[in-house]
């Protein structure tokens, strides 16, 4: 019972939470810079709601809708320069993990003359602009974490930065914004949330508080996976998914992730496999690998997810995602090396070697 926990983001949760709390926006300034992708913010209805609130409060705004699917340093550097030029008082990120993560980089770059690669120093001369985060998917939990994950072509992987200053000031979570998502995106983002909760629970950095949050998140997600398997995506299920994703975000805001994410990044970078789906491929082998280091916790994960074995859980997940990718031995070895370079790998509850990672990947994919 010796721990510290921090989650400074104010959360507004529920249908129409933006319009019901419209007075909050004026507290942050008179001009906003909106960071989003090409279509999700408008298609979900979130951008329309934000524009309505900002117009009513006479808050000026500019929109940057060029966030890439997996934002790069160049991408956020461009947006940051535009935000600086706009004279914005605060940033509004709308979308899935990519726009929400990008909004954190933009908040830093808007008030600091620095190259995007310097973000990884995690030390900023000027405090980043306040961020309002509005998720349109239920998976990343980025609305309640300080982390910004960017693609690094120079390192052929993804890397994150973030400190206490890059936590969003507020998050508005309205599950109606997720109702325009396809089934595959809904499933992939739900599994991303599951791996956040699971990795935080089986992390060397876990605490009594994060364990409690992770357990509730996994129990809810266990119910939701059954519904998704049955093809049932009701408004109530979407509320639960968004809530569970937020809880899992609160977990990793303090624990970080571990090896599932490290392995998944390579499948996304090299094979263009969606992030949640890439993570899903490793869940079964990840739990089996960690069982001897944390048998009670591993068994509790299975119980919370309402399955009797890792084999059964693997079957449930396999029924929700696409076919396993095929990798050759050289790719497996290289992806293992990249995983070992991730700082998060050190937090896995069981110490891992490159050979361990190779084995997990080999058993999780089709080998050429």
Which tens digits make up the pLDDT trace of 294-347? 999 999 999 999 999 999 999 999 999 878 999 999 999 999 999 999 999 999
217 and 361 co-located in one domain: yes
DSSP state of 10: E
Helices marked H in 142-255 — which ranges? 183-201, 208-229, 235-255
- Does residue 2 sit within a domain? no
Could you report the per-residue pLDDT of 2-21, keeping only the tens digit for each?
A: 889 999 999 999 999 999 99
Helix (H), strand (E) at residue 150: strand 148-152
Whether residue 196 is found in the same domain as residue 170: no
Quick check: 232 pLDDT over 90?
Answer: no
**What residue has token string 């706009």?**
86
Q: What pLDDT, on the 0 to 100 scale, is given for residue 167?
A: 98
Would you say residue 243 has pLDDT above 90? yes
Has residue 197 been placed in a domain?
yes
Q: Is the confidence at residue 126, as pLDDT, over 80?
A: yes
In terms of Cα–Cα distance, which of 294, 290, 287 is closest to 308? 287
Q: Is 28 helix (H, G, I), strand (E, B) or coil?
A: helix
Residue whose pair of structure tokens reads 């390579």 in the numeric block? 266
**Beta carbons of 282 and 335 less than 8 angstroms apart:** no
Contact 263, 332 (CB under 8 A): no
Q: How far apart are CA 340 and CA 360, in angstroms?
A: 13
The model carries a pTM of 0.96
Domain range for residue 309?
A: 183-367
Same domain, 113 and 236: no
159 with 40, same domain? yes
Positions of E strands within 212-353: 326-327
Kindly report, residue by residue over 147-182, the tens digit of the pLDDT.
999 999 999 999 999 999 999 999 999 999 999 999
Q: Does 159 share its domain with 227?
A: no
The confidence score (pLDDT) of residue 2 equals 84
Residues 245 and 272 in one domain: yes
| Distance from the Cα of residue 8 to its chain's centroid | 17
Q: What pLDDT does residue 22 have? A: 95
Distance CA 142, CA 47 (A): 18
Cα 25 to Cα 30: distance, rounded to the nearest angstrom: 9
Look up tokens 């309505």; give the residue.
Answer: 52
- For residue 265, with 0-12 CB atoms within 10 Å meaning exposed, 13-18 middle and 19 or more buried, which class applies? buried
pLDDT tens figures, 44-92: 999 999 999 999 999 999 999 999 999 999 999 999 999 999 999 999 9
Residue 268's alpha-carbon distances to 69, 180, 261, 278, in angstroms, are 11, 23, 10, 7
pLDDT at 116 over 90: yes
In the listed set 151, 178, 205, which residue is the last one of a domain according to the structure? Answer: 178
pLDDT at 273 over 90: yes
Number of domains the chain contains: 2
Are 253 and 7 within 8 A, CB to CB? Answer: yes
CATH number at residue 71: 3.40.50.1970
**For residue 1, pLDDT beyond 80:** no
Q: Is residue 3 part of a domain?
A: no
Strands 10-13 and 60-64, bridge-based pairing: unpaired
Torsion of CA 132, 136, 141, 142, to 10 degrees: -40
The answer to the question of residue 158 being in a domain is yes
Note the pLDDT of residue 231: 87
For residue 52, what pLDDT is reported? 97
Residue 171 lies in a domain: yes
Closest of 231, 148, 130 to residue 186, by C-alpha: 231
């Amino acid at each position: 019972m010796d721990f510290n926990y921090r989650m400074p983001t104010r959360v507004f949760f529920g249908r129409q939470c933006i319009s019901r709390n419209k007075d909050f926006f004026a507290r942050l300034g008179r001009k906003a810079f909106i960071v989003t992708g090409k279509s999700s913010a408008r298609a979900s209805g979130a951008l329309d709601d934000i524009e309505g609130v900002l117009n009513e409060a006479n808050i000026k705004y500019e929109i940057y809708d060029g966030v890439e699917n997996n934002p790069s340093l160049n991408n956020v550097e461009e947006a940051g320069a535009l935000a600086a030029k706009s004279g914005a008082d605060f940033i509004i990120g709308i979308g899935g993990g990519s726009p929400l993560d990008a909004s954190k980089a933009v908040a830093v770059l808007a008030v600091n003359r620095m190259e995007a690669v310097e973000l990884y120093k995690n030390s900023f001369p000027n405090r980043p602009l306040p961020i309002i985060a509005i998720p349109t998917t239920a998976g990343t939990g980025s609305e309640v974490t300080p982390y910004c994950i960017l693609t690094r072509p120079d390192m052929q992987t993804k890397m994150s930065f973030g400190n206490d200053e890059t936590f969003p000031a507020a998050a508005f979570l309205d599950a109606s914004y997720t109702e325009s998502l396809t089934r595959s995106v809904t499933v992939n983002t739900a599994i991303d949330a599951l791996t956040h909760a699971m990795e935080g629970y089986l992390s060397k950095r876990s605490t009594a508080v994060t364990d409690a949050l992770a357990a509730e998140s996994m129990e809810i997600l266990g119910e939701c996976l059954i519904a998704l398997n049955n093809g049932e995506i009701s408004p109530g299920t979407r509320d639960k998914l968004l809530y569970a994703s937020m809880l899992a975000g609160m977990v990793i805001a303090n624990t970080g992730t571990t090896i599932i994410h490290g392995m998944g990044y390579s499948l996304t970078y090299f094979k263009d496999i969606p992030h949640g789906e890439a993570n899903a491929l490793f869940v079964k082998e990840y739990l089996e690998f960690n069982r001897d280091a944390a048998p009670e916790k591993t068994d509790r994960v299975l119980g919370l997810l309402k399955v009797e074995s890792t084999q059964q859980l693997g079957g449930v997940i396999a029924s929700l995602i696409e076919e396993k990718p095929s990798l050759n031995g050289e790719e497996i070895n290289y992806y293992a090396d990249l995983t070992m370079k991730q700082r998060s790998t050190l937090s896995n509850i069981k110490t891992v070697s490159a050979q361990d990672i190779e084995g997990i990947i080999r058993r999780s994919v089709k080998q050429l």
